[in-house]
Amino acid sequence: MGHWKYNDLPRDKRPEQGLLRIRKELQLFANLRPATMFSELIDSSSLKPNLVNNLDLMIIRELTGDIYFGEPRGIHKDNDGERFGINTMRYSESEIIRIAHVAFTVARKRSKKLCSIDKANVLETTELWREIMIEVASEYNDVELTHMYVDNAAMQLVREPKQFDVIVTGNIFGDILSDQASMLTGSIGMLPSASLDKNKKGMYEPSHGSAPDIAGLDKANPLATILSLAMMFRYTFNDEDKAKKIELAVKETLADGLRTQDILSKGTELVGCEAMGNAVVERLREI
């Protein structure tokens, strides 16, 4: 997926369409994307250390609605033969309600702060989003709900990221903001994700793509994939102990100074994908 050799295929034959179909047909509507700053990687972030030290942010992205799935869509010609493209941003009330409950539940288990990101001043779809978030908030009186326009949120993520704890937003805004948040932690190669259905069954994968340019070269960072396993134990198997052990093994491996190319810094040791993965396994055996 993402390889340039697929670029000229018809849209319905491209591998990205397969991924979207998996999400939709399995009803994996809740995408959880944590952005956690490991202290060992503080110098890998493009921001000043004081802005990202102890950063622990959770972005909850609605995954099966919005402009990625709305109809009508496509590239067409008008009566004069001029081509035009169309995509439809659409959310139903029930879709927003269910992701809102996920977000409030996660916020309740953390610092009880939830920021909903929209563009309600321009887009009616997200005006409805905001209205429903406010309605659902009445069931979670212990959680503080705030709102922010997506353009301001993008700025605030690099200006003062630690003001956020849990963010909830739609599919396209969540796609963009979660990738932006990845660079706060030093590399998108450090970001795991969980895509869950209503029963907390789901698909676990790194937030990054397949990196076809380095496929087979033993250069990829495996830590996001390993941290996705920790999320699986936490959210599907409800086994917090194993989740924490995996995360601790990753942290201790970083403390040993091992780095893949994307997180390499002065005074650390460059290793490949396989060596990094093996080092985490060895650390896990010792915990």
Known catalytic residues? 68, 119, 151, 175, 179
Helix ranges restricted to H, 145-222: 150-159, 171-182
Terminal C-alpha separation, the chain: 35
User: What count of other Cβ atoms lies within 10 Å of the Cβ of residue 248?
Assistant: 14
DSSP tally for the chain: helices H, then strands E: 9, 11
In 3D, which of 228, 221, 238, 235 has the Cα closest to residue 277? Answer: 221
Cβ(190)–Cβ(55) below 8 Å: no
Q: What are phi and psi of 196, to 5 degrees?
A: -115, 150
Distance CA 27, CA 93 (A): 16
Helix-helix angle 273-286:223-235, to 10 degrees: 40
